[in-house]
Amino acid sequence: MSQGAVADFGLIGLAVMGQNLILNAADHGFTVCAYNRTVSKVEHFLNNEAKGKSIVGATSIEDFIKKLKRPRKIMLLVKAGKPVDYIINDLLPHLEKGDIIIDGGNSHFPDTNRRYEELSAKGILFVGSGVSGGEDGARYGPSLMPGGAEEAWPHIKEIFQSIAAKSDGEPCCDWVGPAGAGHYVKMVHNGIEYGDMQLICEAYDIMKRIGRFTDKEISEVFATWNKGVLDSFLIEITRDILAYDDVDGKPLVEKILDTAGQKGTGKWTAINALDLGMPVTLIGEAVFARCLSALKKERVLASKHLTGPEIPEDAVKDKKQFVDDLEQALYASKIISYAQGFMLIGEAAKTYGWKLNNPAIALMWRGGCIIRSVFLGEITKAYRENPDLENLLLHRFFADAVIKAQQGWRKTVGLATTYGVPTPTFSTALAFYDGYRSARLPANLLQAQRDYFGAHTFRVLPEEASETLPVDKDIHINWTGHGGNVSSTTYDA
């Protein structure tokens, strides 16, 4: 060990997540070396939050490297994008083969794939780790989703699993898979987070506009839901947000501008779903709902021109039934969203050649992260029973749950449609459910249309095959009598 190499772990980036993760690691008995490009931040941290703890600081990259035990384990918690590459380039001249760099930011997985390749060629073990749970999670137990160079795992496993959240005594952290797999799984986590949040917002909107509930009443509904199948972090914070009053005694949430922000992880998930041809409709709608919300000026203008149905005061006759139906709609839509998320993960594993561990992923999301919930315990159980489960919806527990929930779900979507309250995620979830359970969809007509105008060919149903319509052959029909007999070629990407 080089002289002065005292730290088990080094962390670069002393913004809120970095500081909290260092404090968490120190609480678990590790000595951590803290470094930040703006060195004054290190000093401030050491003299304040880090005082009296097993935390040392570094004044330069050289100093930082010297203070780390080998193989060096360096975690970066800096802004995703270029800053990650800058820091890696600063570190590289000082590192040795076998040293480990962990990127804990919300990096886009293709960047992680690239960094993993570049650093592997140099003998550096690169790990891209999803870190979820915000400030509190980082401090008291985040969900950690590491992937990349698997040789790094035995060296970082102990620290990662000690600082991670625990669910029924098990750490919400396990090895995800190769290259960018860790950041990929974090990206899907964020997409699901977008979906869960939008579903909750639609439930709130329906209670407010159709049920004419006050924010306090809605908060109480969420409090009740939080004791049942929907028990989760996002339902819990929504309960508290709706009960929070401004200084004038009015609910603060009603004063907030209704245009949603986004940093892009939900959008990446939706784009990736399109790239992989997976119908991850709920996350897609959740992203678009944020985009539509951002068109505030245009919406205000449109609200003066485009009319919709009036919502009568007594639209809801039986409040208890209305709330129960809504709970079922939320539960069923959530099942669809997670089923879609795992479909995407499954397809990514095939496309990118990754071996991904579904039960471990569900467990990593069970605690510590933003989407943590009791429900994820059921998903963990389902995948533990059968890690190769084709689809969550085909597992008895979830199949029974959606079948049971569908009456309330359909009533809720019907009610919202009747009264003109937008429910993009509730509705798309239901449309997906009905599409997924349809042995026959109208794509036969679509194929005919494609062949009619573009000679794109079609295949015939095996039971309808004949001499003129042979099975397993691309067929083109001269629908109009004046088209040619040559079918179109496909675009070769």
Contacting positions for ligand 6PG (CB under 6 A): 106, 132-134, 190, 193, 261-263, 265-266, 369-370
Q: Rounded to an integer, what distance in angstroms lies between the CA atom of residue 200 and that of residue 196?
A: 6
Centroid of chain to Cα 158? 25
The distance of closest approach from Cβ of residue 139 to ligand 6PG in the complex, given in angstroms and rounded to an integer, is 12
**456 carries a ligand binding annotation:** yes
The distance of closest approach from Cβ of residue 62 to ligand 6PG in the complex, given in angstroms and rounded to an integer, is 32
Mapping DSSP to helix (H, G, I), strand (E, B) and coil, where does residue 199 land? Answer: helix
Among residues 73, 186, 267, 334, the one annotated as catalytic is 186
Nearer to ligand 6PG, 174 or 193 (CB): 193
Among residues 73, 193, 285, 327, the one annotated as catalytic is 193
**13 carries a ligand binding annotation:** yes
The distance of closest approach from Cβ of residue 186 to ligand 6PG in the complex, given in angstroms and rounded to an integer, is 7
Nearer to ligand 6PG, 36 or 190 (CB): 190
Nearer to ligand 6PG, 180 or 408 (CB): 180
Q: Rounded to an integer, what distance in angstroms lies between the CA atom of residue 35 and that of residue 18?
A: 10
Over the range 198-208, which residues count as b (16 or more CB within 10 Å of their CB) and which as e? bbbbbbbebbb
**383 carries a ligand binding annotation:** no
Q: Which residues contact 475 (CB under 8 A, 6 or more apart)?
A: 451, 457, 458, 459, 460, 469
Nearer to ligand 6PG, 111 or 325 (CB): 111
Cis bond before residue 71 (omega within 30° of 0):
yes
Q: Which residues contact 89 (CB under 8 A, 6 or more apart)?
A: none
Question: For strand 9-12 and strand 32-35, is the pairing parallel, antiparallel, or unpaired?
Answer: parallel
The distance of closest approach from Cβ of residue 373 to ligand 6PG in the complex, given in angstroms and rounded to an integer, is 14
Q: What is each CA distance from 373 to 370, 398, 404, in whole angstroms?
A: 9, 15, 20
Mapped to the 3 state alphabet, what secondary structure does 420-471 carry?
Answer: CCCCHHHHHHHHHHHHHCCCCCCHHHHHHHHHHHHCCCECCCHHHCCCCCCC
The distance of closest approach from Cβ of residue 345 to ligand 6PG in the complex, given in angstroms and rounded to an integer, is 16
The distance of closest approach from Cβ of residue 136 to ligand 6PG in the complex, given in angstroms and rounded to an integer, is 10
**122 carries a ligand binding annotation:** no
**106 carries a ligand binding annotation:** yes
Question: Residue number with the shortest CB distance to ligand 6PG?
Answer: 132
320 as an active site residue: the answer is no
Q: What are phi and psi of 220, to 5 degrees?
A: -65, -40
Mapping DSSP to helix (H, G, I), strand (E, B) and coil, where does residue 143 land? Answer: strand
Nearer to ligand 6PG, 262 or 406 (CB): 262
**91 carries a ligand binding annotation:** no
157 as an active site residue: the answer is no
What is the secondary structure of 349-382 as a DSSP string? HHHHT----HHHHHHHHHSSSTT-BSHHHHHHHH
Q: What are phi and psi of 42, to 5 degrees?
A: -65, -50
Nearer to ligand 6PG, 341 or 408 (CB): 341
**84 carries a ligand binding annotation:** no
Q: Rounded to an integer, what distance in angstroms lies between the CA atom of residue 382 and that of residue 385?
A: 5
**132 carries a ligand binding annotation:** yes
Q: Which residues are annotated as a binding site for substrate?
A: 106, 132-134, 189-190, 194, 263, 290, 450, 456
Q: Which residues are annotated as a binding site?
A: 13-18, 36-38, 78-80, 106, 132-134, 189-190, 194, 263, 290, 450, 456
Q: Which residues are annotated as a binding site for NADP(+)?
A: 13-18, 36-38, 78-80, 106
Would you name the residues annotated as active-site residues? 186, 193
